[in-house]
Amino acid sequence: MNAHVQPETISLDQLPLGSKALVASIDWDALDHGEACRLKHFGFDEGVAVEALHQGPFGRDPIAIRVGRMTVAIRRKHAGAVRVVSTTK
Amino acid sequence: MTPLPLVAVAGSPNAGKSALFNALTGARQKVGNYPGVTVERHSGRLILADGRPVEMVDLPGAYSLEPASPDEAVTRDVLLGKQKGERQPDALIIVLDASNLDNHLRFALQLIELGLPTIIALNMIDLAKRDGLELDSAKLAEELGVPVIETVAVRRRGIPELHTALDDMLSAPRCGVHEHAPSDLVRLQRRAREIATSAVISETPVRRWTHRLDAVLLHPIIGPVILAAIMFVMFQAVFAWSETPKSWIEDGVAWLSSVASHALPAGMLRSMVVDGAIAGVGAVITFLPQILILFFFILLLEGTGYMVRAAFLMDKLMHGAGLSGRAFIPLLSSFACAVPGIMATRTIDDPKDRLTTILVAPLMTCSARLPVYTLIIAAFIPNRTVALGIGLQGLVMFGLYICGIGGALLAALVLRRGVLKGGGGGFMMELPKYQWPRLKDVLLGLLQRAEIFLKRAGTIILGTTIILWALASVPQAQPGQKQSEVSIAGHIANGIEAVVRPIGFNHEISLALLPAMAAREVAVSAIATVYSLDAGDNAAGKPLVEQLHHGWPLPTALAFLAWFVFAPQCISTIAVTRRETNSWKWPLFMVSYLFILAYLAAGVTYWTAKALGL
């Protein structure tokens, strides 16, 4: 293991459908209080497993994400605050 | 007298909390409102084995004590004993979805920290098993330090055990309640995951039903097609199934009216009861079948978990107008009637999104406008084919619907940029597992909607129809005078006429505008009455369509149509807006902006038609 090799992160809205990932970091300041609260309620946290499942038929927005054992719908704009490391090869 | 012990049922959304509450209290429920907010308070009574009654309250679903919606704020305040109109509960039942413990345990941990006597209902344990999840509830109880009871609320499994546990808990001496210190959600979440992991005995991955269904129902092409089909069936049902019960209600009202006419001596009292109360309230309760059918579908769509998917599919389009996907069903419902549509906005979490939806809902062309549209179109629009079998009359009708939708989207956009700017949690929703709701729970919800509607019909609507009747009946006409001219309403009509003359409205229209406040379609009967009174004997046999055709210039007729696209001509809508927004500010705002829109639309139509020489 090399300490200076950082795994490559992408933002959650860039995660391809059907791919799994681990949450690397969340930019809470990019969200307003209510939005941040809701994401915490959904269980978004560093190290949590997520999976991109579906996207809306118009403009590919919103997206459905499996987080832990639940599935949630969020807009791409908000998903942009979550950085993930893809675990799907 | 000491009050009954109060037990609160709390839990995260989609934990099956309401089903459990229904299983515990049965149909002995009351639905009210918490003072100052439009959050419903569901309460009921449970009788313990020894006959002791317990008051139960079903708290709004919440993810934590850190509220992100008005509902969650009420839940927090009740639990901390800070909610107006509610004492602090003596004990708690926390409902958890057995297959989503990682998440639901966070709220449970927060609640247990409060120190109230607590029982955990590990609900939907059957669905967890179906998903291949084997849980150790004894281990969970040990970790949490409170009793854990496995339940399947929709099948009443575990309910007797819950009764026993409740009995034990309420009999035990009470300890003090801790102060709630703001807790760190992330820390709680991590602890919740640890406990959840330790309580899992085994997990066999299985293909879950919900995932398979979502692959179809959220498919980018098939999904919207299925949604459109469901909406089509829903609207067919609202119009087709309601015909028969509607005619029963109409017959009943007619029967009641004739009984009252015979029982009461001729005079003001009889007129008030028959022409005012019975006719007015009767006209409104004929909407009851439509409202119930619509809500049957809404409750079914909510209960199965499909409603959130519909919102998911439509969110982007609604977002374009500054609304969220959640507004889709209420706005669609408003095509039948704005009253149930506005009542359905309760599913929208965000207060500003909800208010915007309420304010634009009356712009959706409701079924009560149809009689007005049909009459004017039949009288003034020639029945000829434009092209390819498309009739001009149908095209105009379609155009009026489009005007309404366009107006609503535009109004929403303006409102979201102006008075209702900012806020809005966007669109963040849990997509729950699909499941069949219990028919009893759906019917109970339906009964509660009917009660809310009838209560309003019995109070606000009864009051306003009596006022309208009084205006139209006082003072009474002498022989040779026309009631419609002499009455206060007649004088008001003269006043209205001065205002609406510039947009091409004549005296007959001015007279019809006031009674049309009761319900839009009343405009048709009001105009009919005015013409039948004015026409005398020779024209009495002529159909109204012909009388209008000869009596009104075309620009006036078109202006009248444009008026009805926008005008807030319905007391019930104003009353339900008052109830749902809990203030007079928003209904007044709605009425004024809609009247201004209607006036401008009618004016522009009239002046343009004039200029074009129509």
pLDDT tens, position by position, B86-95? 889 999 999 9
In the predicted model, is pLDDT for residue B170 greater than 90? no
What's residue B452's pLDDT? Answer: 75
pLDDT tens, position by position, B352-385? 888 999 999 999 988 778 778 888 888 888 888 8
Nearest Cβ partner of A64 from B67, B101, B312?
Answer: B312
CATH classification of the domain holding A35 = 2.30.30.90
Chain A residues with beta carbon closer than 8 angstroms to that of B325: 62
Q: CB distance from B224 to chain A under 8 Å?
A: yes
Q: Would the CB atoms of B428 and A38 count as touching at under 8 Å?
A: yes
The minimum CA-CA distance between B226 and chain A, rounded to whole Å, is 13
B residues 40..79 contacting A (CB < 8 A): 63-64, 66-69
Q: Which of A20, A22, A54 to mutate to test the interface with B (most CBs of B within 10 A)?
A: A54
Chain A residues with beta carbon closer than 8 angstroms to that of B225: none
Question: Helix, strand, or coil here: A65?
Answer: strand
The minimum CA-CA distance between A4 and chain B, rounded to whole Å, is 27
Contact, B121 vs B164, CB < 8 A?
no
The band of B240, judged by pLDDT with boundaries at 50, 70 and 90, is confident
Chain A residues with beta carbon closer than 8 angstroms to that of B199: none
Does residue A57 fall inside a structural domain?
A: yes
d(C-alpha B95, C-alpha B122), whole Å: 6
- The residue assigned the tokens 């007079």 is B584
What's residue B286's pLDDT? Answer: 76
What's residue B394's pLDDT? Answer: 82
d(C-alpha A18, C-alpha B610), whole Å: 61
Q: Would the CB atoms of A35 and B425 count as touching at under 8 Å?
A: yes
DSSP state of B153: G
pLDDT tens, position by position, B545-565? 888 888 889 999 999 999 999
Kindly list the distances between the CA atom of residue B44 and the CA atoms of B6, B54, B60, B90, in Å, as whole numbers in the listed order: 10, 9, 14, 15
pLDDT tens, position by position, B331-359? 887 887 888 889 888 878 788 888 999 99
Q: How many domains does chain A have?
A: 1
Q: CB distance from B427 to chain A under 8 Å?
A: yes
Per-domain residue ranges of chain B = 6-206, 222-240+287-437, 474-611
Q: Would the CB atoms of A62 and B325 count as touching at under 8 Å?
A: yes
Among the residues of B457-487, which ranges form H helices? 462-473, 483-486
In the predicted model, is pLDDT for residue B277 greater than 50? yes
In the predicted model, is pLDDT for residue B469 greater than 70? yes
Cα dihedral B332/B337/B342/B343 (nearest 10)? -110
Number of H helices and E strands in chain B, helices first, is: 29, 12
Does residue A40 fall inside a structural domain?
A: yes
pLDDT tens, position by position, B185-201? 888 898 999 999 999 88
What residues contact residue B587 under an 8 Å CB cut-off, 6+ apart? B574, B575, B577, B578, B581
Does residue A56 fall inside a structural domain?
A: yes
Kindly list the distances between the CA atom of residue B407 and the CA atoms of B152, B321, B411, B573, B594, in Å, as whole numbers in the listed order: 47, 11, 6, 18, 10
The minimum CA-CA distance between A3 and chain B, rounded to whole Å, is 26
In the predicted model, is pLDDT for residue B537 greater than 50? no
Chain A residues with beta carbon closer than 8 angstroms to that of B214: 53-54, 64, 71
pTM summary value: 0.82
Angle at B550 (CA atoms; ends B547, B554), nearest 5 degrees: 115
Q: H-helix or E-strand containing A55?
A: strand A49-55
Contact, B473 vs B275, CB < 8 A?
yes
Lowest pLDDT segment from A66-75, B199-208, B454-463: B454-463
Residue ranges of E strands in B34-80: 40-47, 53-58
Contact, A52 vs B441, CB < 8 A?
no
d(C-alpha A53, C-alpha B354), whole Å: 28
Amino acid at B390: I
Q: Tell me which chain B residue has its CA closest to the CA of residue A43.
A: B103
What's residue A9's pLDDT? Answer: 93
Whose CA is closest to B411, among B370, B368, B342, B364?
B364
Q: Would the CB atoms of B315 and A73 count as touching at under 8 Å?
A: yes
Contact, B329 vs B347, CB < 8 A?
yes
Q: Would the CB atoms of B319 and A37 count as touching at under 8 Å?
A: no
Whose CA is closest to B542, among B384, B379, B380, B381?
B379
Number of A to B CB contacts under 8 A, please give it.
110
The pair of structure tokens assigned to B599 is 């006036």
The pair of structure tokens assigned to B199 is 């309580």
CA atoms within 13 Å, Cβ hemisphere of B448: 21
Q: Would the CB atoms of A73 and B308 count as touching at under 8 Å?
A: yes
Whose CA is closest to B106, among B144, B139, B158, B163?
B144
Cis status, amide bond into A16, omega within 30 of 0: no
B residues 169..208 contacting A (CB < 8 A): 185-186, 189-190, 193
Contact, B130 vs B434, CB < 8 A?
no
Does the domain spanning B6-206 belong to CATH 2.60.120.10? no
- The residue assigned the tokens 């309404």 is B404
What's residue B538's pLDDT? Answer: 47
DSSP state of B152: B
Instruction: Kindly provide the ipTM of the predicted complex, given to two decimals.
Output: 0.93
Among the residues of B381-486, which ranges form H helices? 392-417, 439-456, 462-473, 483-486
The minimum CA-CA distance between A87 and chain B, rounded to whole Å, is 18
Residue span of the structural domain in which A78 resides: 10-86
